[in-house]
Each structure stands twice: as structure tokens, then as C-alpha cells.
Chains A and B, each alone.
Chain A
Amino acid sequence: MRMGHTTTAEAGSGGLTATEHRLANGLRVVLSEDHLTPVAAVCLWYDVGSRHEVKGRTGLAHLFEHLMFQGSAQVKGNGHFELVQGAGGSLNGTTSFERTNYFETMPAHQLELALWLEADRMGSLLAALDDESMENQRDVVKNERRQRYDNVPYGTAFEKLTALAYPEGHPYHHTPIGSMADLDAATLEDARQFFRTYYAPNNAVLSVVGDIDPARTLAWIERYFGSIEAHDGKPAPRDGSLPEVIGEQLREVVVEEVPARALMAAYRLPEDGTRASDAADLALTVLGGGESSRLYNRLVRRDRTAVAAGFGLLRLAGAPSLGWLDVKTSGDVEVPVIEAAIDDELARFAAEGPTPEEMERAQAQLEREWLDRLGTVAGRADELCRYAVLFGDPQLALTAVQRVLEVTADEVKAVAQARLRPDNRAVLVYEPKSPETVEDAEVPEDPESEATVEAAAGRDENEETAK
């Protein structure tokens, strides 16, 4: 085992530090100590996501993620969940375009158990994987798809816009949930082959954050993961690079049973990890990041043509990121009215750039988001893995906020000029199928009934979860 280097706390990292290590089998390890609360987070990122899937097998990475909770050589059936929860821990796994992650947050004295469990499935999943769990989890995932996408209004908007924004054949053309037909077609042998190809110590990063003894933690990691054999032969994902702008406005109109007209759009933006992507993040925040943003003020407050209006950024490292616009119209307002106002605001912003006050607000909002993300051991562990897997350097997680604060108004203006243009977007318009007025409609209540279903809470739209 080679010991890695330690960096000292840098400005903007909030005093956090992380050390890096690598086992002989190629497993990269990141450790970060924090003794304020007796908890420890374990996070394991495998460098495989839906972008690695092939035609006819969309959804396989996510279905496979579910199978990782069905037992391994020394863990029976649902033992992974039972043991972690019985130890007072919480856990989950998620799949996105670019990676699959698995995580446990444990009371600090139960950390070793989580490491043992992760190692067991990394090294011996195929000893337990059988037809029964394959058939069962196929049905569970299909019900996940129905619950989160097919059975809710606008539920498939993300899938439709992604398919518009990335051309046919592009690795990001389809989303992680996959199609029903492909989920039906996946075989046990597909799952086995997927494991043999992508689940290897040299294709993963393990981070452990919290109330830990680094030397002892590293010894446990060596003990449990050290003997798992490295293997190569992972094919590189298909190239995700695309021209900077789409070059035309792509458009799809969907007539469906939805409660109101909606205008959604995806703008092609710079790849994550670049200074230009931070500038784009600030631009979208000024334009649509909150209740003092330009689009909210214009559409919701002044014109009163929209119920809600906002911009979000889907950061991607292996393909252009997407700037995500979502507007639900008010009353009988027609989509062209909204569209004209948006074009007007975007053109003005591209011409003038942000005001100093807008820059200050946007940077304060993004700084706050980073404080939230790094404020829990689980959030920190995930970010360390993210920067290690996608950009090769976990330390970048601790200085990310600093980079956002260094971006200038001119850079924000420049990215808006270059990218936030009508010829660089895919547009999705929803028109209600039966626009009769809703009579005696009442407000449903009790959002808590949804929040108690752990599966439904707080997941990004582009992620699937096992639980």
C-alpha cells in the first residue's frame, strides 16, 4: 500500500482536509477526519453509469445497482440492508449518467461493518446473484419507473428533453431509468457480464469521512478490499463530446393529460469541472435560481403569466452540461407569451451581463449550497468521490466554492452570450389534452406521506435509487 499525500486546509475549504491512498489492486481511497459527531460516512463510487450502456440494454446500470443489495458470498438475501440498519446506519445507492454510488452512514463504532459489506459485494457478488433476485428486482425497478415517471404529470419530461438535447446514438441520449422494453429484455447473463466488466477495485473510489482513526480505517480497508483482484477490459464509454452549440432550436410538443401548459427547455452548456461551467451556474442562478431571479420577477411577479419559473444546472463531465428551464403557465396563458418573455430576458442578460448586486446574490446562494453539501459527513464523502472519479483529484471538492467565488461578471456574461441562445436549446411544450376547467378542485395535503417513503425523498431527477 502506498500512502498518499495530505494537503493542508486551504481557504474556502472550511478547515476540512482529506488524504489520498491507493491499494495495490488500484482501489483509490480518500479519508477525511471530523470528530464533532460520532458518525462516519462510507461512500463508494464506481466509474460506470448509464452512458456505458449499449443499445437495447438501457437501464441496466441501475437495475444492476438494485442487484447489489441482493446478497453476496457472505451476505444472505437482504442482509446488506438488515445489517446496516441493525447497526443504526442508513444506506442507499443511486445511478446517474456518469457513475453509480453506494453509501452508508454509520455510528462511528460500526464503520468496520460497512467496509466489510462493501468489500464482500465488490469481490463476490456473483456468488449470490441468481434468477430469483433478477426477476424480483426487474419488477421492482419497473414499478419505480411507473411511480416516479409514468404515473405522474410531466413525469417523462426529463427523459424526453434528454432525448432531444443529445442526438440518437449519443451516450447521454437515454436516462438511467431505461425503457420498459429494455428492462424486460435484460438477462441474468447481462447482469453478470456487467459486473465482470465494471465492478473492480481499479474502477472505484472509496471515501470515508467522519469520526475515524485514519490509520486504523486504512488497515481495515486493506484487510477487506486488498485481496479483491483488479481487472481491466472495461471499454471506454462512447465519446460524449458535441459541438458547443446545437445550431438550431429543437422542439417537441406533447399533448397529454397534464394540469397546465408548460414550457421546458434544455440549453447546451460547458462541461463540469471547467471555469466556464461555474460561470454558467452563476448565470442560471441570476436568471432563474430563486425568488429574486430575473425570470421569477418577470414571469411570476410582474407579468403574472407563470405559476413557477426557474433554471437549474445538470452538471455533466463527459458531455455538455444542461441548463434546465421549467415554467408552468398560469391560467389560460399561451406558451408563446412565455417564450417571448424568456427570449427577451435572456437577450438582455447576454447583452448587459449581471449587475454587481446580482453577482453577489448568486455567489452567496451557491456558497450556501456548498455549505449545505459539505455540512454532513455523507455529503462530504460523496463530493470527495465525485471529484476523484470525474476529475482525478478529490481535493478539488474542498476548494470548489472558492472557484465559484472567483468567477467574474464578464465571464458570466460571456457564457450567456455564447450559450443561452434560442439556437442552442431543445424545447419541450406541454399542452393539456382536455383543457376543461377543473371544478371543485381541492388542495391535496399531507406531503409527509410522500416524504416517509424514503425512495421518494430528495433525489435528483437524473438519479435512480435502490431504496
Chain B
Amino acid sequence: MTEQLATMQFHPRPEAGEARPWAFPAPERSTLGNGLTVLRCHRPGQQVVAVEVLLDAPLDAEPAGLDGVATIMARAFTEGTDRDSAEEYAAELERAGATLDAHADHPGVRISLEVPASRLAKGLGLLADALRAPAFAESEIERLVRNRLDEIPHETANPARRAAKELSRQLFPATARMSRPRQGTEDTVEKIDAAAVRGFYDRHVRPATATVVVVGDLTGIDLDTLLGETLGAWTGTPGESRPVPPVTADDTGRVVVVDRPGAVQTQLLIGRVGSDRHDRVWAAQVLGTYCLGGTLTSRLDRVLREEKGYTYGVRAFGQVLRSAPDGTGASMLAISGSVDTPNTGPALDDLWTVLRTLKAGGLTDAERDVAVQNLVGVAPLKYETAAAVASTLADQVEQYLPDDYQATLYQRLADTGTVEATAAVVAAFPEDRMVTVLVGDAAQIAEPVRALGIGEVTVVTAE
């Protein structure tokens, strides 16, 4: 039953105008005297300059029993230097209108500085102090350790983060660093002290194995001089390359319910491990994954959200965990979202039906076309800010990809056909080789899920 049409005058849907060419920016490479690799990229109009530093300090380099030391080191970079106390350092950053974030992940430590172009010199000076002469004062490390211990229960109480933790534990062998939380456990974090942080810094942080990416409006800025006076003063011994450990994973189809009594929704995370961006199939996989669960008009949400109303949104994605120069790296391929508790069984049933239907019938040409148009078309929007460009350039370096990787990825996407995209996404999400983690009310969801026959169901008691 619809209402009478309003009186507005209708016009046919307009056609697109002529596209103005856009290309992902090509960075310029150089090396400072201390061995630091520099990538720079001038982006006119971007008044907030983004600076990303990559340190070759991967999580698997953490000493046994000290998981989390890389995280504490990353946080401690901003807690005082040879010039400033922790409070003074924070004040100086804010005086420059700057933000500086540092975090540790499997490939290494990343530091992101954003600062107005007019204060770039000040920002780079502070960044250089942090890397060159961090204080790592005992009292500050002790505080960061306690703070980190306080954060853990907050993360455990968050269903999405709890699910991610469980999936890693399920997929990877217990001996692999990837099976354990990136930022350590209570047992390991409480053992971290200033000496451990200093030791990790001495072994793994040096300009010769680091890269800095600078992106923004560099008009009137003598970047070489600025870098020379700041990051150029950072010294260190030559680095040695370390082998990247191979990644193995057990993706035997199974279901793990993390019990959260009384939960009104079930958080689902269904995943396995795939190859990294060096794989020739990556572009086709990106395309197919978008068609499966990239947006609310993709296959999963078309059923689970827009037809059934079981969820606010379910997404499928591929995310690189760690790369190696020889292409032996790994990525996490996963489907995530939350569904209301009573409909958990029906929602998973529908989700599996979507996967089976996709395998049996494949993607349509129309789906493929829309996906390509979106993935390629959004590039100029996605890379409007300096921070977005810097982050992708840094990812490329971190993943041993050429500087023109992103630019050529768009060409590859455009060249990928429906058959290739179907094959890639069906191979990425095989219905019988995925680990399903459900964080929810086991008493209500375990039986309906068992009845689906999507794998053995075990229940883990919540902490």
C-alpha cells in the first residue's frame, strides 16, 4: 500500500560526467646518512602532515614470557626523552597541535605523527627525540605496565575483542606468537620492567632498519634539512635481517562458543588463514570478498540484514597479519558481526546458505561490475587525507610490496573477471574449513548451532 505520488517533477536518472584522472600518488625514495629510509609525497592542500615510522621490531622478536614488551616500549616512546619529562613531552606535543600514536603489531612497531604543516619542524623534533633518546624511566614503565594490566579486563568484557582473541588461540599453534594476544597477557605483562623495555629497544630499534613516510602539503618546506636535523641525528648499529617465521594454522571446521550468560546478542567471528598480498589471486579475492560481505548491499547483508533483520551488519574481510619478502606471509580471512540471541541459529544457517549458494552458482557479472566500480571509484575519496596515503605507503613497505602496489592494484581489479572473483572468494571462504567463534549466551545458542551441523561445538566458560 503506497501513497499517491507527490507532485514533484521527475527526471530520468542522470549519466555520469567525464571523469578527471586520478592516480594513487607515487612516493619519492631516499636514504639518510644514518641508514633511515625516507618516502615522501607532496599532497597540495593537506595542511595536516602525516608522518609514519616503521620499526623492524616484530612481536615474534619479543623474548619468551615477555609478550607485551613491544607494546610497552611503543607506549613509552611518548613518556619522556633526554630533553623532556613524560609530562613535558605530552605538553610539547599538544602545544604543536600534534598527535602521536604508537603501537606494536606482528610485523613491527608503527608510530604515527600528525601535525599541522606550520609546526612540522617541532613535530619531527619530538618524534626524533622519542626514537633517539627515550627515557624509559622506571617509574613510567611501572605505570604503563599497571595501566596495561588495568585495560585487560575491559577488553575481555568487549564481545568483539573477546571473539578475536579466541579465534587467534584456535587457529594458531600455541607456540606461535600469533596465537597469543598482541599486547600480552596478565602473566607476561606483569613481568615487564624498564630493563626489559630497554633491552628490546637496544636489540631491535635502529635507523638502518627503519623507514619514515612523510605525506602532506610540503610547499615551502625544506624537508631534507628538517629530516637531517631531526631523525638524521638518530644513530644506531647496522641491522641484520631476521627470517620471518612461517605461519601454520588449523582451520578444521568447528564452532567455539565463548559463554556470556544473558547476552542479548551473539558476536560472531568466522575465520581462517590465507595468503598475503603477494599472492596473484589477491585482487580477485578483494573483489569477491566485497561481493560477499563488503557492504549492506553485499550478499550477506542482503539476507541477514535487509531481508531478515537479524543484524545491524555483517562484514567479510581479508586483513594481512604479516608478510614476508618471498610471499610466504599470511592474512586473516573472516566474517564478523553480531546477531540477536534468539536468531543466532537461523542467522548462521542463512550465512552458510549464502556461502553454499555462492559456491554453486557463482557471482553475477552485474555484482562484479558494481564491486569494481566501487572499489576503484572510491580511491580518490579514500585517499583525500595525508594520513590515509601515509598509512597505505607504510603498509606497502611493511609488507615488502613495491611502492606502486596500490596504484597497480586498481588496474588489476579492473582487469579481474567474474569467474576469477568467484573462484577466489569461494576458495577464501570454504564452508567446511572455517573456525566459528560465537561470544554469546551458550544456554540459548549452543543447541540450535549444534543442529546446523557446521562442525563440532565446544563451549568455553567466560573468564
Question: Which residues of A are in contact with B by a Cβ distance under 8 Å?
Answer: 14, 34, 36-39, 73-74, 78, 81-83, 85-90, 105-113, 116, 119-120, 123-124, 126-131, 135-140, 142-144, 146-148, 150-153, 192, 211, 220, 223-224, 226-229, 257-260, 290-292, 297, 300-301, 304, 307, 328, 330-331, 357, 360-361, 364-365, 367-368, 371-372, 375-377, 438-450, 452-455, 467
19 A-B residue pairings within 8 Å (CB atoms):
A36-B45, A37-B22, A39-B381, A78-B297, A82-B370, A124-B6, A136-B307, A151-B338, A152-B158, A211-B20, A229-B6, A260-B150, A291-B94, A371-B47, A438-B153, A441-B156, A444-B165, A454-B295, A467-B313
A107 to chain B: which residues have CB within 8 Å? Answer: 19, 22, 377, 380-381
Complex CA–CA separation, A301 to B143 (angstroms): 7
B463 in the interface (beta carbon within 8 A): yes
Of the candidates B4, B313, B319, B340, the one having the most CB atoms from chain A within 10 angstroms of its own CB is: B313
Of the candidates A82, A107, A467, the one having the most CB atoms from chain B within 10 angstroms of its own CB is: A107
B401 in the interface (beta carbon within 8 A): no
Q: Are A82 and B313 in contact (CB under 8 A)?
A: no
Q: Are A361 and B17 in contact (CB under 8 A)?
A: no
Q: Are A112 and B14 in contact (CB under 8 A)?
A: yes
Can you name the residue of chain A whose Cβ is closest to the Cβ of B7?
A: A229
Select which of B93, B182, B185, B310 is within 8 A of A441 by beta carbon.
Answer: B185
B302 to chain A: which residues have CB within 8 Å? Answer: 78
Q: Are B384 and A368 in contact (CB under 8 A)?
A: no
Q: Write out, one digit per residue, whether chain B residues 122-165 have a CB within 8 A of any chain A CB (1) or not (0).
A: 00000000000000000000010011001111111111111111
Q: Write out, one digit per residue, whether chain B residues 367-378 have a CB within 8 A of any chain A CB (1) or not (0).
A: 001100110111
B18 in the interface (beta carbon within 8 A): yes
Q: Are B370 and A86 in contact (CB under 8 A)?
A: yes
Q: Which of B219-227, B329-337, B425-433 contacts A (4 or more CB under 8 A)?
A: B329-337
B334 to chain A: which residues have CB within 8 Å? Answer: 449
Q: Are A368 and B337 in contact (CB under 8 A)?
A: no
A-B CB proximity, top 5 nearest? A88-B377, A139-B309, A444-B161, A123-B8, A443-B181
Nearest CB of chain A from residue B418's CB, rounded to whole Å: 15
Q: Are B5 and A143 in contact (CB under 8 A)?
A: no
Q: Are A224 and B11 in contact (CB under 8 A)?
A: yes
Select which of B16, B20, B385 is within 8 A of A113 by beta carbon.
Answer: B16
Can you name the residue of chain A whose Cβ is closest to the Cβ of B43?
A: A36
Query: Using a Cβ cutoff of 8 Å, how many contacts connect chains A and B?
Result: 324
B9 in the interface (beta carbon within 8 A): yes
Q: Are B97 and A130 in contact (CB under 8 A)?
A: no
Known: A307-B154, A372-B48. 5 other contacts (CB 8 A): A37-B384, A109-B16, A140-B305, A444-B158, A467-B296
Nearest CB of chain B from residue A160's CB, rounded to whole Å: 17
A453 to chain B: which residues have CB within 8 Å? Answer: 313, 315, 336-337
B264 in the interface (beta carbon within 8 A): yes
B116 in the interface (beta carbon within 8 A): yes
Complex CA–CA separation, A135 to B155 (angstroms): 34
Complex CA–CA separation, A172 to B315 (angstroms): 33
B154 to chain A: which residues have CB within 8 Å? Answer: 153, 259-260, 307, 328
Q: Are B48 and A371 in contact (CB under 8 A)?
A: yes
Q: Are B20 and A365 in contact (CB under 8 A)?
A: no
Q: Write out, one digit per residue, whether chain B residues 83-104 have a CB within 8 A of any chain A CB (1) or not (0).
A: 0001100110111111100000
Complex CA–CA separation, A328 to B18 (angstroms): 53
Can you name the residue of chain B whose Cβ is closest to the Cβ of A34?
A: B45
Can you name the residue of chain A whose Cβ is closest to the Cβ of B369?
A: A86
Known contacts A259-B157, A453-B315; decide if A300 and B373 are in contact (CB<8 Å). no
A130 to chain B: which residues have CB within 8 Å? Answer: 1-2
Can you name the residue of chain A whose Cβ is closest to the Cβ of B160?
A: A450
Q: Are A442 and B152 in contact (CB under 8 A)?
A: yes
B13 in the interface (beta carbon within 8 A): yes
The B198-236 residues at the A interface (CB cut-off 8 A) are none
Nearest CB of chain B from residue A392's CB, rounded to whole Å: 27
Known contacts A112-B14, A449-B269, A467-B313; decide if A443 and B165 are in contact (CB<8 Å). yes
Complex CA–CA separation, A127 to B5 (angstroms): 6
Complex CA–CA separation, A112 to B17 (angstroms): 8
Can you name the residue of chain B whose Cβ is closest to the Cβ of A328?
A: B154
B97 to chain A: which residues have CB within 8 Å? Answer: 364-365, 367-368, 371
Nearest CB of chain A from residue B47's CB, rounded to whole Å: 5
The B376-403 residues at the A interface (CB cut-off 8 A) are 376-381, 384-385
Q: Are A109 and B20 in contact (CB under 8 A)?
A: yes
Known contacts A140-B309, A442-B152; decide if A88 and B378 are in contact (CB<8 Å). yes
Known contacts A290-B94, A307-B151; decide if A375 and B385 are in contact (CB<8 Å). yes
Q: Are A375 and B46 in contact (CB under 8 A)?
A: yes
Q: Are B312 and A147 in contact (CB under 8 A)?
A: yes
B281 in the interface (beta carbon within 8 A): no
Complex CA–CA separation, A143 to B317 (angstroms): 21
A300 to chain B: which residues have CB within 8 Å? Answer: 143, 147
B274 in the interface (beta carbon within 8 A): no
Q: Are A291 and B156 in contact (CB under 8 A)?
A: no
B288 in the interface (beta carbon within 8 A): no
Q: Are B338 and A143 in contact (CB under 8 A)?
A: yes
Select which of B156, B305, B370 is within 8 A of A442 by beta carbon.
Answer: B156
The B9-51 residues at the A interface (CB cut-off 8 A) are 9-11, 13-14, 16-22, 44-48
Nearest CB of chain B from residue A186's CB, rounded to whole Å: 14
Nearest CB of chain A from residue B173's CB, rounded to whole Å: 16
Nearest CB of chain A from residue B159's CB, rounded to whole Å: 6
Nearest CB of chain A from residue B380's CB, rounded to whole Å: 5
B150 to chain A: which residues have CB within 8 Å? Answer: 260, 307, 328, 330-331
B326 in the interface (beta carbon within 8 A): no
Of the candidates B13, B87, B93, B96, the one having the most CB atoms from chain A within 10 angstroms of its own CB is: B13
A110 to chain B: which residues have CB within 8 Å? Answer: 16-17, 377
B415 in the interface (beta carbon within 8 A): no
Nearest CB of chain A from residue B62's CB, rounded to whole Å: 13
Known contacts A87-B377, A292-B90, A372-B48; decide if A73 and B309 are in contact (CB<8 Å). no
B155 to chain A: which residues have CB within 8 Å? Answer: 443-444
Q: Are A78 and B311 in contact (CB under 8 A)?
A: no
A257 to chain B: which residues have CB within 8 Å? Answer: 157
Q: Are B312 and A116 in contact (CB under 8 A)?
A: no
Nearest CB of chain A from residue B238's CB, rounded to whole Å: 32
B436 in the interface (beta carbon within 8 A): no
Q: Are B183 and A443 in contact (CB under 8 A)?
A: yes
Complex CA–CA separation, A353 to B184 (angstroms): 41
Complex CA–CA separation, A377 to B183 (angstroms): 36
Q: Are B338 and A376 in contact (CB under 8 A)?
A: no
B147 to chain A: which residues have CB within 8 Å? Answer: 300, 307, 330
A224 to chain B: which residues have CB within 8 Å? Answer: 11
Can you name the residue of chain B whose Cβ is closest to the Cβ of A262?
A: B154
The B64-115 residues at the A interface (CB cut-off 8 A) are 68, 78, 86-87, 90-91, 93-99
Select which of B7, B181, B296, B377 is within 8 A of A445 by beta carbon.
Answer: B181
A111 to chain B: which residues have CB within 8 Å? Answer: 17
Complex CA–CA separation, A41 to B306 (angstroms): 26
Known contacts A85-B295, A376-B384, A443-B181; decide if A151 and B162 are in contact (CB<8 Å). no
Complex CA–CA separation, A143 to B187 (angstroms): 36
Nearest CB of chain A from residue B378's CB, rounded to whole Å: 5
Q: Are B153 and A260 in contact (CB under 8 A)?
A: yes
Q: Are B19 and A109 in contact (CB under 8 A)?
A: yes
Q: Are B310 and A139 in contact (CB under 8 A)?
A: yes
Q: Are B377 and A441 in contact (CB under 8 A)?
A: no
Nearest CB of chain B from residue A15's CB, rounded to whole Å: 9
Q: Are A150 and B264 in contact (CB under 8 A)?
A: yes
Q: Are A14 and B311 in contact (CB under 8 A)?
A: no
The B258-313 residues at the A interface (CB cut-off 8 A) are 263-265, 267, 269, 295-297, 302, 305-313
B170 in the interface (beta carbon within 8 A): no
Complex CA–CA separation, A119 to B6 (angstroms): 12
B3 in the interface (beta carbon within 8 A): yes
Complex CA–CA separation, A37 to B46 (angstroms): 11
Can you name the residue of chain A whose Cβ is closest to the Cβ of B103?
A: A447
Select which of B3, B47, B99, B265 is within 8 A of A192 by beta carbon.
Answer: B3
Q: Are A109 and B17 in contact (CB under 8 A)?
A: yes
B22 to chain A: which residues have CB within 8 Å? Answer: 37-38, 107
